[in-house]
């Protein structure tokens, strides 16, 4: 009997882990950053995505932003969602060179991920798009 309970608890844990992972990729604002090598150069890549229809604690994400600072500064944005019922996933990415093999130079950068939000149930005029 104890073994059955342990198996049941393990299944509940695994199911809850996968349910949360799926929710993160199908609804709320997500972002990621990582480094990778291409040839002998090294790059930093950031990706941001939103889904306006997801109600995240009483708010909907209208647009995501990736800002970077370091050797150069700037920002890029996802497109605006059209409304709180917009089921599309909007994403944007930015890639920056952090080690230039030919010049032998390294560049320091950091990403900041933000979003514009609209309160759930706000009138259509409150939506920025």
- Cα distance between residue 96 and residue 51, in whole Å: 25
pLDDT at 22: 32
pLDDT at 6: 57
Mean pLDDT of 71-88: 92
Point out which residues pair with 75 in neighbouring strands: 67
The CATH fold assigned to 28-120 is Immunoglobulin-like (2.60.40)
Mean pLDDT of 80-106: 93
Residue 12 has pLDDT above 90, yes or no: no
pLDDT at 23: 32
pLDDT at 121: 81
Closest-CA residue to 24 (of 60, 46, 56, 59) = 56
Mean pLDDT of 72-89: 92
pLDDT at 120: 85
Residue 90 has pLDDT above 70, yes or no: yes
Strand 59-70 relative to strand 30-38, pairing: unpaired
Closest-CA residue to 96 (of 70, 78, 123, 127) = 70
Parse the chain into domains and list their residue ranges.
28-120
Between 36 and 8, the higher pLDDT residue: 36
**What pLDDT, in 10s, does the model give residues 19-47?**
333 333 345 678 899 999 999 999 999 99
Per-residue burial over 64-75, b if 16 or more Cβ lie within 10 Å, else e, is: bbbbbeeeeeee
């Amino acid at each position: 009997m104890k073994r059955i309970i342990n198996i049941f608890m393990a299944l509940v844990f695994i199911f809850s882990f996968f349910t949360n992972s799926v929710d993160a990729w199908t609804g709320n604002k997500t972002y990621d950053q990582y480094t990778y090598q291409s040839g002998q150069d090294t790059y930093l890549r950031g990706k941001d995505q939103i889904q306006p229809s997801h109600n995240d604690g009483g708010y909907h994400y209208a647009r995501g932003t990736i800002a970077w600072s370091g050797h150069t500064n700037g920002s890029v944005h996802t497109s605006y969602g059209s409304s709180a019922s917009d089921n599309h996933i909007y994403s944007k990415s930015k890639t920056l060179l952090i080690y230039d093999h030919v010049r032998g130079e390294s560049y320091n950068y950091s990403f900041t991920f933000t979003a514009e939000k609209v309160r759930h149930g706000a009138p259509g005029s409150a939506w920025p798009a």
